[in-house]
Amino acid sequence: MKSIAIDMDGVLANVYSQFVRMHAEEYGKIITAEEMSGRPEGDVFPDALKFVNSPGFFRTAPLIKDCQKILEQLNLRYSVFIVSAALEFPNSLIEKQSWLNEHFQFINWKQIVFCGSKEIIKADIMIDDHFKNLDFFTGETILFTQPHNELTDPGIHKRVNSWKEIGELFLR
């Protein structure tokens, strides 16, 4: 059974929707898709660090479309691991754990990894929205499209734009 390491923020959890909502609450302005395109989150949202450290940021994040049903099917055919760089935001650990337990009841504790750097992760496939995680991974690398990476050439990584595309790739 092949193993898949799946990122949380920007792959399962819609963190952009949290950034946009909190930015609007703070500044009364809705940031558009065009404004976010191709720019690091920290450039688009000057308060990004404050937002991610706010209680509830991770706990109340919406799901990225279709991730629940496709992940449930992947979980039957692959050894699935949810791998999140949670140690960067110490308060996020409990929120992320609760969020996973709520939305992905088919994922058990043995399948969750909260790390700092992902260079210690070994799997056959990695799905992530950040080049810094994919670039040194030795298996098959899937770049999940998010506004910050959508203008960048994926290079050796395969780009997918949705969970539907992930299903088409891995559930045939």
Convert residues 77-116 into a mask of x (bound to a copy of itself by CB under 8 A) and - (unbound).
----x-x--xxx-x--xx--x----------xxxxxxxxx
Closest distance between a copy of itself and the C-beta of residue 167, in Å? Answer: 22
**By CB under 8 A, residue 5 contacts a copy of itself:** yes
**By CB under 8 A, residue 2 contacts a copy of itself:** no
> What whole-number distance in Å separates Cα of residue 105 and Cα of residue 109?
10
| Cβ-based nearer residue to a copy of itself, 5 or 22 | 5
**By CB under 8 A, residue 131 contacts a copy of itself:** no
**By CB under 8 A, residue 55 contacts a copy of itself:** no
**By CB under 8 A, residue 75 contacts a copy of itself:** no
Does the annotation mark 9 as catalytic? yes
> What whole-number distance in Å separates Cα of residue 70 and Cα of residue 167?
6
R_g (Cα) of the chain, nearest Å: 16
> What whole-number distance in Å separates Cα of residue 115 and Cα of residue 105?
21
Sign of the CA dihedral running 58, 62, 64, 70: positive
Contact pick of 120, 151, 156, 172 for a copy of itself (by CB under 8 A) = 120
> What whole-number distance in Å separates Cα of residue 96 and Cα of residue 172?
30
Contact pick of 8, 13, 20, 121 for a copy of itself (by CB under 8 A) = 121
Alpha-carbon 135 to chain mean position: 16
Question: Helix 163-170 and helix 67-77: axis angle, to 10°?
Answer: 20
**Type and span of the H or E element at 92:** helix 92-103
| Cβ-based nearer residue to a copy of itself, 8 or 36 | 8
> Is 114:93 a contact under the CB 8 Å cutoff?
yes
Closest distance between a copy of itself and the C-beta of residue 103, in Å? Answer: 16
Instruction: State the residues that interact with a copy of itself by CB under 8 A.
Output: 3, 5, 81, 83, 86-88, 90, 93-94, 97, 108-117, 119-123, 138
Which residues are part of the catalytic machinery? 7, 9
